[in-house]
Amino acid sequence: MRGDLEWGSVPGLVRAAADRYGDAEAVVEGRTRLSYAELGARVERAAAACLANGVRAGDRVAVWAPNTLDWIVSALGAVCAGAVLVPLNTRFKGAEAAYVLSRSRARLLFVTGTFLGTSYVASLRRAAGQGAGRGPLPGLPHLEQVVVLSDDAPADFRTFGDFLASGQQVGAADVRARGDALDGSSPSDLVYTSGTTGRPRGVVITHAQTLRAYAVWCELSGLREGDRYLIVNPFFHTFGYKAGIVACLMRGATMIPQPVFDVDTVLANVAAERVSVLPGPPTLLQSLLDHPFRDAHDLSALRLVVTGAAVVPLRLVERLRTELRIDTVLTAYGLSEASGIVTMCRRGDAAAVIASTSGRAVPGTEVRVVDASGAGAAAGSPGEVLVRGFNVMRGYFEDAPATEAVLTPDGWLRTGDVGVLDPDGNLRITDRIKDMFIVGGFNAYPAEIEQLLGLHPDVADVAVVGVPDARLGEVGKAYVVRHPHATLTADDLIAWSRREMANYKVPRTVEFVPSLPRNASGKVVKGELRGRGEDTRPPAPVPAVRKANRPGSRS
């Protein structure tokens, strides 16, 4: 297995991939087809521009854009310039993005123009256009430059083309020297994942952790040179960026980015590009199997699927193997705080193991299940899942109290998830201490949603729980106490929510109640809410590759 000793850092990986795979196809985006050598040259140009514009080693550089070639080039360019990458969720609204930009003190932002009918530039300007600072967005005083990934940009922002041109005077030797100055302990990225406080926290992961974790992922999944990999998982998510871009760089696979999930586009891409690798949440795979015109497309090249982030039905695994004749179907479990990978099934595991568990601890990682006293739970008994190993984060960015709350003195990470280990060491996730639920592969955190809903002037009190949904696995349901004399309706609140928060966070149903059930300490008894009729949760969810932001983290 190759690892961090060979590459040293992500810049070392990018250079090695360009040298080793040279003329092989690296990225396909519509009519654009780039070889690994050409991709390496573009990334070097982006890194040179970062240097020319004052990016220093350790500076945070954010990318807020969908899956595109420009995302790959700008993100890798920033990392090759020594920056720490801060990926932003494309479903964020302006205020949500501004919070992460402010908290991380990002100096440079690469942002898409218009995506899915929304101007990200206008959204961000509304959220951060006012303030005491200087620069393009006064409300974000640390943000010195905004680069729009298009040919058109407002006068106070820059186009990507202009930005790249600004680095022409920076030589390849300077770019390489910046990358060579990094080592495995240098931070490579800062993934913001929400917690029970409702405020996102930045997870600090190093170059060595990134490289080792996804060398392991490549080995266990069987990704190989010449594979053609359709990356539908968002790049802002570990599943898309690291199990996608980074893994492909390691093995010389072709990246085919798809900006949004659309089953018709997936089918067309798989057939036209002879896609062999298609990781994604069960929702994607189920849609593929159930498509009425599936058989009109040639899907015979598909050989590898890695799934998770939600319940994985046994029938889904069996259908992928029998109907589509996919050789390898795997599930896994991870979270941002553990580099996105903790456990993973192995090739050759029985379908029942793949569907009912998240596999075994990956090499270099230990997994324990402990009871309330901290003692090890017996095989088959539930308890909190603890993780220790090379993959555990260095901590939350500039948040020592939060870090101390989840990292024990002897290096164990408290995941906040409840699970069961079988006698063979396979992990099954059975509940979530932190009340998180997963909406079509996206992690939704009730505390964060409740804080946002609480901003509505007619909402006096609110609690959000996850409820079963046939299509998305789980969705949010809000129990709301209205202010006296308020006439707020469920439709009103849902429409307001769609304007104020990412779509996956929006409650699908709202029930107005006179009060919320609370215990003696004043905390809402969410178990009682979940127990009301349709709120009963599905049994034994397996959030196999959990975040973004994954692969899969809870971001």
* Contact predicate 229/244, CB 8 Å: yes
Q: Which fold has domain 437-535?
A: GMP Synthetase; Chain A, domain 3 (3.30.300)
Q: 99: part of which helix (H) or strand (E)?
A: helix 94-104
Question: What is the rounded distance in angstroms from the CA atom of residue 327 to the CA atom of residue 224?
Answer: 14
Domain with CATH 3.40.50.980 in the chain: 14-23+30-201
CA 155/CA 174 separation, integer angstroms: 30
Q: How far apart are CA 95 and CA 123, in angstroms?
A: 8
pLDDT tens, position by position, for the chain (555 residues)? 444 458 999 999 999 999 999 999 999 999 999 999 999 999 999 999 999 999 999 999 999 999 999 999 999 999 999 999 999 999 889 999 999 999 999 999 999 988 988 899 999 999 998 877 777 899 999 999 999 998 888 888 999 999 999 999 999 999 999 999 999 999 999 999 865 456 789 999 999 999 999 999 999 999 999 999 999 999 999 999 999 999 999 999 999 999 988 999 999 999 999 999 999 888 789 889 999 999 999 999 999 999 875 567 788 899 999 999 999 999 999 999 999 999 999 999 999 899 889 999 999 999 999 998 889 999 888 889 999 999 999 999 999 999 999 999 999 999 988 889 999 999 988 766 767 788 998 878 787 888 789 889 999 889 999 999 988 989 999 999 998 899 999 999 999 999 999 999 999 999 999 999 975 445 688 888 887 745 443 333 333 333 333 343 443
pLDDT of residue 500: 92
Domain with CATH 3.40.50.12780 in the chain: 202-432
Dihedral over Cα of 459, 465, 466, 468: its sign = negative
**What size, in residues, is the chain?**
555
How many CA within 13 A on the CB side of residue 236? 25
Residue 523 and residue 543: Cα distance in Å, rounded? 26
Place of tokens 């990926």: 87
* 464: CB partners within 8 A, 6+ apart: 446, 449, 450, 453, 476, 477, 478, 479, 507
Tell me which long-range contacts 74-77 makes (C-beta under 8 A, separation of at least 24): 74/46, 74/110, 74/147, 74/149, 74/160, 75/110, 75/235, 75/241, 75/245, 76/10, 76/14, 76/43, 76/46, 76/47, 76/245, 77/42, 77/43, 77/44, 77/45, 77/46, 77/47, 77/49, 77/50
**Rounded Cα–Cα distance for residues 180 and 174 (Å):** 10
- pTM, full prediction: 0.84
Over pLDDT 90: what percentage of the chain? 72
> Look-up: residue for tokens 């990134």?
210
Tokens describing residue 89: 């969720």
| b/e burial code for range 253-279 (CB count within 10 A of at least 16 → b) | bbbbbbbebebeebbebbeebebbbbb
Taking domain 14-23+30-201, whether its CATH number is 3.40.50.980 is answered by yes
Q: Where in the chain is the domain with CATH 3.30.300.30?
A: 437-535
Q: What local confidence, expressed as pLDDT, does residue 412 receive?
A: 97
3-state secondary structure of 413: strand
Give how far the C-alpha of residue 522 lies from the chain's centroid of Cα atoms, to the nearest Å.
33
Q: What is the C-alpha separation between 331 and 323, in angstroms, rounded?
A: 19
Q: How far apart are CA 40 and CA 11, in angstroms?
A: 10
Please provide residue 270's backbone torsions phi and psi, each rounded to the nearest 5 degrees: -60, -45
The pLDDT of residue 518 = 78
pLDDT score for 194: 63
State which H helix or E strand residue 314 sits in.
helix 314-322
pLDDT of residue 536: 40
Nearest to 148 by CA among 114, 123, 117: 114
DSSP at 242: I
**β 60-64/108-111 pair status:** parallel
Q: Is the CATH code 3.40.430.10 the one for domain 202-432? A: no
> Strand order in 32-35's β-sheet?
32-35, 25-29, 254-257, 228-231
Q: Measure the CA dihedral 499/502/503/509, to 10°.
A: -80
What pLDDT score does 286 carry? 87
